[in-house]
């Protein structure tokens, strides 16, 4: 039965208004709490996307320092106390153990220094030793092989000294120079054009095409080592595999690039790593390495790995980092909804 407001007393009207206000306040508080929880989940997600690693956009790096948007009150008070202590307390100087010793495997050049003047009336009572780390820049030199010829006195035949085997037949680079070029290019990431500039500083003019030809020939000589590495990595019983994109310069069009992929195979048991370049991310990219593999294969959830993981004598292992990422993402989406 509906109640007429005209029939209510002043006290009843006040009680009715207060009851309505209370109901509205409870509903509004609940709405604000839901909105606050949603905004907190969104903020947490954006902080991970902003400060976390790019490959883990929904799973930030635990070591990454985040901005203190929500510092608790008690933590602020504790920080203020620490600051007061630092201001009023003079910290004692730590016991410095001195600089680290220089590597013992390096050759030592000793330079003896005697006091100036006449020392004939004096006796040596000791010495002080000071060491510094020096560097001699790499130097270029010419190896000139002079092979002498000998002819038999009776005119039957001629002998000549045997020329050492060379990496590039009839080429001028030695094995040491080729090793330096490859190390600088692939280990220290020094492009060939910069190495060419370094040659030019020593007044050694070498064409870019010549450097590229030397590099190609040296890599051909290393193919047996690569094939052995492929054979060993395929015989491992436990492999971790992942692929990573890389921009590759076009040889026919200056400045243009195409997308290539490094397929990385890692054997955790002995730390052996193989980088296998392929122009594609499709199943053909991993076919050569994984087609005959037997053992434990650990990868992310990429479909290509799923196919090889179902092979005979293959146990497919998942990646906890990727699994954690999606669990975290789903939990955040559940909180937001």
Q: What is the pLDDT of residues 106-136, one digit of tens each?
A: 999 999 999 999 999 999 999 999 999 999 8
The three-state (H, E, C) secondary structure of the chain, written as one string: CCCCHHHCCHHHHHHHHHHHHHHHHHHHHHHHHHHHHHHHHHHHHHHHHHHCCHHHCCCCCCCCCCCCCCCCHHHHHHHHHHHHHHHHCCCCCCCCCCCCCCCCCCCCCCCCCCCCCCCCCCCCCCCCCCCCCCCCCCCCCCCCCCCCEEECCCCCCEEECCCCCCCCCCCCCCHHHHHHHHHHHHHCCCCHHHHHHHHHHCCCCCCHHHHHHHHHHHHHHCHHHHHHHHHHHHCCCEEEEEEEEEEEECCCCCCCEEEEEEEEEEECCCCEEEEEEECCCCHHHHHHHHCCCCEEEECCCCHHHHHHHCCCCEEEECCHHHHHHHHHHHHHHHHHC
Mean pLDDT, rounded, of the chain: 83
| pLDDT the model gives residue 1 | 45
What is the model's pTM?
0.61
The pLDDT tens digits of the residues spanning 7-21 come to 767 777 777 777 777
Q: Output 19 or 291, whichever has higher pLDDT.
A: 291
Q: What is the CA radius of gyration of the chain?
A: 37
| pLDDT the model gives residue 249 | 82
| pLDDT the model gives residue 63 | 54
Q: Please report which confidence band the pLDDT of residue 319 belongs to, taking 50, 70 and 90 as the band edges.
A: confident
The pLDDT tens digits of the residues spanning 203-252 come to 999 999 999 999 999 999 999 999 999 898 888 889 999 999 999 888 77
Q: Please report which confidence band the pLDDT of residue 91 belongs to, taking 50, 70 and 90 as the band edges.
A: low
End-to-end CA distance of the chain: 40
Segment 74-94 shows an average pLDDT of 65
| pLDDT the model gives residue 53 | 58
For the cut 70, the answer to whether the pLDDT of residue 276 exceeds it is yes
Q: Output 208 or 1, whichever has higher pLDDT.
A: 208
| pLDDT the model gives residue 255 | 77
| pLDDT the model gives residue 65 | 55
| pLDDT the model gives residue 278 | 92
For the cut 90, the answer to whether the pLDDT of residue 264 exceeds it is yes
**% residues pLDDT > 90 (the chain):** 44
Segment 68-81 shows an average pLDDT of 66
For the cut 60, the answer to whether the pLDDT of residue 61 exceeds it is no
**% residues pLDDT > 70 (the chain):** 83
For the cut 80, the answer to whether the pLDDT of residue 77 exceeds it is no
| pLDDT the model gives residue 62 | 54
| pLDDT the model gives residue 336 | 63
For the cut 60, the answer to whether the pLDDT of residue 60 exceeds it is no
Give the neighbor-by-neighbor strand order of the sheet with 257-267.
Answer: 272-278, 257-267, 238-249, 295-298, 314-317
Segment 80-87 shows an average pLDDT of 66
Q: Where do the domains of the chain lie, and which CATH numbers do they carry? A: 160-223 (no CATH), 237-336 (3.30.420.10)
| pLDDT the model gives residue 222 | 94
Segment 134-149 shows an average pLDDT of 92
């Amino acid at each position: 039965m509906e109640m007429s407001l005209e029939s209510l007393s002043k006290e009843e009207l006040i009680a009715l208004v207060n009851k309505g206000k209370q109901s509205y306040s409870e509903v509004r508080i609940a709405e604000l709490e839901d909105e606050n929880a949603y905004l907190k989940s969104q903020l947490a997600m954006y902080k991970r996307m902003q400060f976390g690693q790019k490959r883990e956009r929904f799973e930030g790096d635990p070591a990454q320092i985040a901005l203190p948007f929500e510092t608790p009150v008690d933590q602020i008070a504790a920080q203020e106390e620490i600051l007061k202590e630092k201001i009023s307390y003079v910290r004692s100087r730590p016991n410095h153990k001195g600089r680290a010793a220089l590597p013992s495997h390096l050759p030592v050049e000793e330079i003896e220094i005697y006091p100036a003047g006449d020392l004939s009336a004096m006796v040596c009572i000791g010495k002080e030793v000071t060491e510094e780390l020096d560097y001699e820049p790499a130097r270029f030199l010419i190896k000139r092989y002079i092979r002498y010829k000998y002819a038999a006195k009776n005119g039957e035949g001629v002998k000549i000294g045997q020329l050492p085997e060379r990496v590039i037949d009839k080429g001028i680079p030695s094995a040491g120079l080729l090793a330096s070029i490859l190390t600088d290019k692939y280990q220290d990431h020094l492009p060939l054009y910069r190495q060419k500039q370094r040659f030019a500083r020593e007044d050694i003019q070498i064409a870019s095409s010549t450097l590229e030809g030397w590099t190609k020939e040296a890599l051909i000589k290393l193919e047996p080592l690569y094939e052995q590495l492929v054979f060993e990595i395929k015989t491992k019983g436990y492999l971790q595999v992942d692929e990573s994109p890389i921009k590759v310069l076009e040889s026919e069009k200056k400045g243009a690039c195409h997308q290539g992929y490094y397929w990385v195979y890692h054997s955790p048991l002995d730390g052996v790593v193989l980088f296998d370049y392929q122009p594609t991310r499709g199943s053909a990219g991993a076919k050569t390495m994984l087609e005959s593999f037997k053992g434990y294969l650990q990868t992310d959830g990429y479909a290509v790995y799923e196919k090889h993981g179902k092979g005979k004598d293959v146990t497919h292992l998942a990646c906890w980092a990727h699994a954690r990422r999606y669990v975290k993402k789903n939990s955040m989406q559940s909180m937001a909804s």
